[in-house]
Chain A
Amino acid sequence: MAKRIDVSDLNIYYGSFLAVADVSMTIEPRTVTALIGPSGCGKSTFLRTLNRMHEVIPGARAEGKVVMDGVDMYASDVDPVAVRRHVGMVFQRPNPFPTMSIAENVLAGVRLNNKRISKGDAQDLVERSLQGANLWNEVKDRLDRPGSGLSGGQQQRLCIARAIAVRPQVLLMDEPCSALDPISTLAIEDLIAELKNDYTIVIVTHNMQQAARVSDRTGFFNIAGTGKPGRLIEIDDTTTIFSSPHEQATEDYISGRFG
């Protein structure tokens, strides 16, 4: 069910301000693509255009093509709500619904999609999703407790369980570990390696070691200066990017000479 995404000539705007210019890339199915770059370079903005979450900000829009499995997600007859049902997202800060129990959180997406689900199926799905997110053993005895009572790392894995419960084709992660301690980060990174077998994953990270550890391909975004749009400088196999990048800017960034 993992899908390939082709982005071509994508320009992203906030009102009249061009935030990200001219991005083209191909994201292969069942791979992890990491997006790295300095703050404000537009990598998160770009990520949010992949499930049309970008446009929930007033005035924000994108021009260009994002084709998933032959369908242009920005075609006029495409419903952004439907896009988001196929492209799941995990955010920077864990955001389980505070008014729902752990089990309800996992089922939130399924309930939204207006599917009637029997009690047994629901229990199976909760168990399967939580196991998929490596969280089952830690929470199986307290599925009816609020999700907000878990630790930050557990909450983030709960959010991943919630995202994969609807069986998306692509999973977007926006700095999923930036609010977590190293142990929880490790748990998430292990999880990403497992999820890769079933999903296409795009992850934005500030942490270059993390990009090197988890990803197959790495894209480097950069910005020429304040007020200028962010651009994709290069994207290549992770090993290439971290050993012999083609662009000088990439080399400077990953060797810590700036940013």
Chain B
Amino acid sequence: MSLTPTRRPEGAEPSLTPAESMTHGRASLANRAFARLSTASGVTILALLAAVTVFLVIEALPAVTTSPAELAERISWFPETGGILGYVGPLVFGTLLAALIALLIGTPLAIGIALFISHYAPRRLAQGLGYLVDLLAAIPSVVYGLWGSLVLAPRIVPVQDLLAQYLGWFPLFDGPAAQPARTVFTVGVVLAVMILPIITAVCREVFLQTPRLHEEAALALGATRLEVIRTAVLPFARSGIISAAMLGLGRALGETMAVLMILSPGFAYSFALLQAGQHQTIAANIANQFPEANTAGVSTLIATGLVLFVITLAVNMLARWVVSRRADFSGAN
């Protein structure tokens, strides 16, 4: 992206009288065309969003209006009691839980990597490392799924055992740990790896944009490198870090394939991260049930998809609100 203004060489303007060039120059035509083009792009995104919403609502409507008893009768996997909310509840819980674990593991790691790249590593190493992290994003999620279920799930067992043994008194790590570890904990770890590239990339860019002036202000007060990061870099990057984390959260919430391949599903409101057969996420559940679902089943699944859509929107709005709350103190003014 170049910020240098393109300057037309002198004399390159076709010979127009001043009056002509002021009214209908070629530049103004290009200008208007570009304005329309960018407006059209802006409208497209709104139209797409509206189309998806309308699709979800229309398709989900039958599942919401049909009585729970009838749904339970027509769909083999629909719960006898609780209705549609009772069905979606544990899924929402599982989705949020898996995404939250991913975020808790992924964000600090990503911030660490980004700080290393932007402020610690020698320039050449930093470039290489940045490239490698971007490469993580290029791995298809089905490959992460394979890796998670075949490589990580058996090997993470000792870690889970250790957690269950020493932190088992804490409900989150209640044992016995599942073997192989087809648990929401393993899913969280894999999702953390998957959201690492986007969070790292955004954080790195934000850290690199810290105004030199602010870093020098801290240095001149006698700040060590850590203190420069604490007083100048992180406060400046705060809203960027939140945005990055939310982008990662969005990806973790919607991740389907990896979860489907690793997690042994269950429909409980359970905080036992180390036990299998307790959780399921909305996206993985849709992928799991969709191929053999009948009309009512598809409608129910789409209703759960609508819920996921709303959650993701809410998360994004929350992030924006968090960012704007301290706008006065941001680096922008």
Contact = CB atoms under 8 A, between A and B. Distances in A.
B78 to A, nearest CB: 51
Contact of A95 (B213, B223, B329): B213
Given A91-B213, A100-B235, A149 B222 contact: no
B222 A97 contact: no
Interface string B322-333: 000010111111
Contact of B219 (A56, A146, A166): A56
Interface stretch (A30-38, A80-88, A133-141, A226-234): A80-88
Nearest to B332: A98
B329 A109 contact: no
A16 interface: no
A126 to B, nearest CB: 15
Interface in B190-245: 211, 213-214, 216-224, 227, 231-232, 235-236, 238
B328 A109 contact: no
Given A56-B216, A91-B216, A112-B231, A98 B331 contact: yes
A99 B220 contact: no
A148 B217 CA distance: 14
Interface residues of B, number: 26
Nearest to B236: A99
B330 A53 contact: no
A108 B231 contact: yes
B300 to A, nearest CB: 47
A85 B328 contact: no
Interface string B51-81: 0000000000000000000000000000000
Interface in A119-175: 145-146, 148-149, 159, 162-163, 166
A113 interface: yes
B236 A81 contact: no
Contacts of B213: 91, 93, 95
A96 B235 CA distance: 13
Contact of A84 (B220, B231, B232): B220
B235 A146 contact: no
A60 to B, nearest CB: 13
Contacts of B224: 81
A195 interface: no
Which among B217, B222, B231 has the greatest number of chain A C-beta atoms within 10 A? Answer: B222
A98 B333 contact: yes
A205 interface: no
A113 B222 contact: yes
Contact of B238 (A82, A99, A166): A99
A51 interface: yes
A98 B330 contact: yes
Nearest to A96: B217
A98 B235 CA distance: 9
Given A95-B216, A97-B214, A97-B232, A84 B329 contact: no
A152 to B, nearest CB: 13
Given A84-B219, A97-B218, A108-B218, 6 more contacts: A56-B216, A81-B224, A91-B220, A109-B221, A112-B231, A149-B328
29 contacts: A58-B123, A81-B223, A84-B220, A84-B221, A84-B222, A84-B223, A85-B222, A91-B213, A91-B220, A95-B213, A95-B216, A95-B217, A97-B217, A97-B231, A97-B235, A98-B214, A98-B235, A98-B330, A98-B333, A99-B326, A99-B331, A108-B218, A112-B218, A113-B222, A146-B328, A146-B329, A148-B329, A149-B328, A163-B220
Interface of B: 123, 211, 213-214, 216-224, 227, 231-232, 235-236, 238, 326, 328-333
